[in-house]
């Protein structure tokens, strides 16, 4: 038995399913999770002292590689001043100013502690602002585990086969309307059938949580027009795309201005941080400026702000990071595609910049229905074949790759080679 196996057995007796977040349990791919001891740059090390090339990177935040020196130093410097005050700090002002300067649509911003908190708060504010109750989300998009979002949810909910969770009341579920991603006509029909009842429309402007799915040309523009026309608050959930697809996220890359934006992952440099922000008139609804209540004992935590600030300053000052992220994404996609062609496998690759999924299906993947056509058992075999070759991937077909700039060209070649061998291994029964 490996140390990871032993720890997992122990964990299962005291933690539900042995993990603190479902997808970590490797349920969809079989086997046991690796228990992690440390990570540095492009590598992660498990309790059995095995080394892997990191392609999860904490599901996104470690975009500059693990234990990146400027972030590590900022945290070390902050620690000597105590860990939490529950009172305003200079760093929070600096953080808010930096976000406002980087993310095009954000005029005011509130810090929270996770992506889930950010999306829950954003729809509450949208409801308070519009005086309406219903929201529209897309099938297969994941916006954290808030009750309103566990309807046709992606990511772990999709991976675990529980896109609609027990424990969400019928009343809550009724207020969440869903449409297929990339289907403007379906959104238009929902709006027509619920006149003046829809507070917000929330989406991942590029989806990462059913695997990587791109918005078709005109989709984001069409949503923007519909929301403006019907006075619906358009929320871009940029927890995954923010500070990844561009310094100002997907909204900058596509040139579309949402009303509110939710952020997480990279914004905290690996610490538990989220944020929501947007139009000043909407954000002024938030307590104590306005009547919509939202609070947090640890919000704007000084250690978390120090990590996040070091991360965002670095990204803001080094635009070459984005050139490199795109280059890495392009190299992987090209290499993977070459292997697919060589092996005669008809799989679909979706990629934009460093967001990338190799879907094990011959269908074009544009939404939840087409994503679900993937051969999940085959992905499980592929995942373990990659792990055996020292590549640590998200243990689900329905996730995007999470690369960091620590990935050298040599490591990219190793990943491409491992992918080709693993595709062959997964195809053999
Ligand atoms: N929104 C999106 C788009 C996400 O990808 C995630 C997490 N993967 C969340 C919200 C929830 O963030 P957290 O896990 O930090 O609560």
* Domain ranges (residues) in the chain: 3-67+319-427, 69-317
pLDDT surpasses 90 at 163: no
b vs e for 339-359, b when ≥16 Cβ sit within 10 Å of the residue's Cβ?
bbeeeeeebbbbbbbbbbbbb
Q: Which fold has domain 69-317?
A: 3.40.640
Cβ burial, residue 17 (10 Å; 0-12/13-18/19+): middle
Q: Which of 144, 160, 236 to mutate to test the pocket of ligand 1 (most atoms within 8 A of CB)?
A: 144
pLDDT in tens, 4-52: 999 999 999 999 999 999 999 999 999 999 999 999 999 999 999 999 9
What pLDDT shows up at residue 152?
Answer: 87
142 is catalytic: yes
Ligand 1 binding pocket includes 113 (Cβ within 6 Å): no
Q: How far apart are CA 127 and CA 135, in angstroms?
A: 9
Ligand 1 binding pocket includes 352 (Cβ within 6 Å): no
The reply to whether 69-317 shares the fold of 3-67+319-427 is no
Ligand 1 binding pocket includes 144 (Cβ within 6 Å): yes
Q: How far apart are CA 423 and CA 358, in angstroms?
A: 11
User: Strand 274-278 vs strand 260-263: parallel, antiparallel, or unpaired?
Assistant: antiparallel
134 is catalytic: no
Q: What is the number of the ligand 1 atom nearest to the C-alpha of 60? A: 8
142 Cα to the center of ligand 1, angstroms:
7
342 Cα to the center of ligand 1, angstroms:
36
Q: Which of 119, 242, 264, 402 to mutate to test the pocket of ligand 1 (most atoms within 8 A of CB)?
A: 264
Mean pLDDT, residues 100-106: 98
237 is catalytic: yes
Q: How confident is the model at residue 162 (pLDDT cuts 50, 70, 90)?
A: confident
**Residue 271: beta bridge partners?**
269
pLDDT in tens, 381-418: 999 999 999 999 999 999 999 999 999 999 999 999 99
DSSP 405: T
Cβ burial, residue 89 (10 Å; 0-12/13-18/19+): middle
pLDDT surpasses 90 at 154: no
Ligand 1 binding pocket includes 118 (Cβ within 6 Å): no
pLDDT in tens, 216-248: 999 999 999 999 999 999 999 999 999 999 999
CB atoms within 10 A of CB 280: 12
CATH of domain 3-67+319-427: 3.90.1150.10
pLDDT in tens, 273-332: 999 999 999 999 999 999 999 999 999 999 999 999 999 999 999 999 999 999 999 999
Instruction: Report the range of poorest mean pLDDT among 166-175, 190-199, 297-306, 370-379.
Output: 166-175
What pLDDT shows up at residue 201?
Answer: 98
What pLDDT shows up at residue 299?
Answer: 98
Rounded alpha-carbon distances, angstroms, from residue 311 to 28, 243, 251, 354, 361? 32, 10, 20, 17, 37
Q: How far apart are CA 31 and CA 425, in angstroms?
A: 17
143 Cα to the center of ligand 1, angstroms:
5
Is there a contact between 136 and 179 (Cβ–Cβ < 8 Å)?
yes
Phi, psi of 415 (to 5 degrees): -65, -45
Ligand 1 binding pocket includes 237 (Cβ within 6 Å): yes
The H or E element containing residue 1 is none
Q: Of 336, 1, 267, whose CA–CA distance to 109 is shortest?
A: 267
279's CB contacts (< 8 A; 6+ apart) are 105, 107, 259, 260
Ligand 1 binding pocket includes 400 (Cβ within 6 Å): no
What pLDDT shows up at residue 429?
Answer: 64
Is there a contact between 243 and 102 (Cβ–Cβ < 8 Å)?
yes
Ligand 1 binding pocket includes 60 (Cβ within 6 Å): no
Q: How far apart are CA 23 and CA 209, in angstroms?
A: 12
Which residue stretches of 31-155 are H helix? 69-79, 90-102, 115-130
């Amino acid at each position: 038995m490996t140390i990871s196996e032993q720890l997992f057995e122990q964990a299962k007796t005291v933690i539900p399913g042995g993990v603190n977040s479902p997808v970590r349990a490797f349920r969809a791919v079989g086997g046991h999770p690796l228990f992690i001891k440390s990570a540095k740059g492009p590598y992660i090390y498990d309790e059995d002292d095995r080394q892997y090339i990191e392609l999860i990177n904490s599901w996104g935040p470690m975009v500059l590689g693990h234990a990146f020196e400027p972030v590590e130093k900022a945290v070390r410097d902050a620690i000597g001043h105590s860990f939490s005050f529950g009172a305003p700090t200079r760093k929070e002002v600096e953080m808010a100013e930096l976000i406002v300067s980087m993310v095009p649509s954000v005029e005011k911003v509130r810090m929270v502690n996770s992506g889930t908190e950010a999306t829950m708060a954003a729809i509450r504010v949208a409801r308070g602002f519009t005086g309406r109750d219903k929201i529209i989300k897309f099938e297969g998009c994941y916006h954290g585990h808030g009750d309103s979002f566990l309807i046709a949810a992606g990511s772990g909910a999709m991976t675990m086969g529980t896109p609609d969770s027990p424990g969400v009341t019928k009343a809550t579920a009724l207020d969440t309307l869903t449409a297929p991603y990339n289907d403007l006509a379906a959104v238009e029909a929902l709006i027509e059938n619920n006149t003046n009842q829809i507070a917000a429309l929330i989406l991942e402007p590029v989806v990462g949580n059913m695997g990587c799915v791109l918005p078709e040309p005109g989709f984001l523009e069409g949503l923007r027009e519909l929301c403006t026309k019907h006075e619906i608050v358009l929320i871009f959930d940029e927890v995954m795309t923010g500070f990844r697809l561009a310094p100002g996220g997907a909204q900058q890359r596509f040139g579309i201005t949402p009303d509110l934006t939710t952020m997480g992952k990279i914004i905290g440099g690996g610490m538990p941080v989220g944020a929501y922000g947007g139009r000043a008139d909407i954000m002024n609804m938030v307590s104590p400026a306005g009547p919509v209540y939202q609070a947090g004992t640890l919000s704007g935590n000084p250690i978390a702000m120090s990590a996040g600030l070091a991360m965002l300053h670095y990204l803001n000052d080094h635009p070459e990071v984005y050139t490199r992220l795109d280059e890495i994404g392009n190299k992987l996609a090209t290499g993977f595609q070459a292997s697919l062609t060589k092996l005669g496998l008809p799989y679909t690759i979706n990629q934009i910049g460093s967001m990338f999924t190799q879907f094990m299906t011959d269908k074009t993947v544009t939404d939840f229905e087409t994503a679900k056509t993937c051969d999940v058992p085959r992905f499980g075999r592929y995942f373990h074949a990659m792990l055996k070759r020292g590549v640590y991937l998200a243990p689900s077909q329905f996730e995007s790759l999470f690369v960091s700039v620590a990935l050298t060209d040599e490591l990219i070649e190793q990943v491409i080679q491992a992918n080709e061998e693993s595709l062959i291994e997964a195809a053999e029964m």
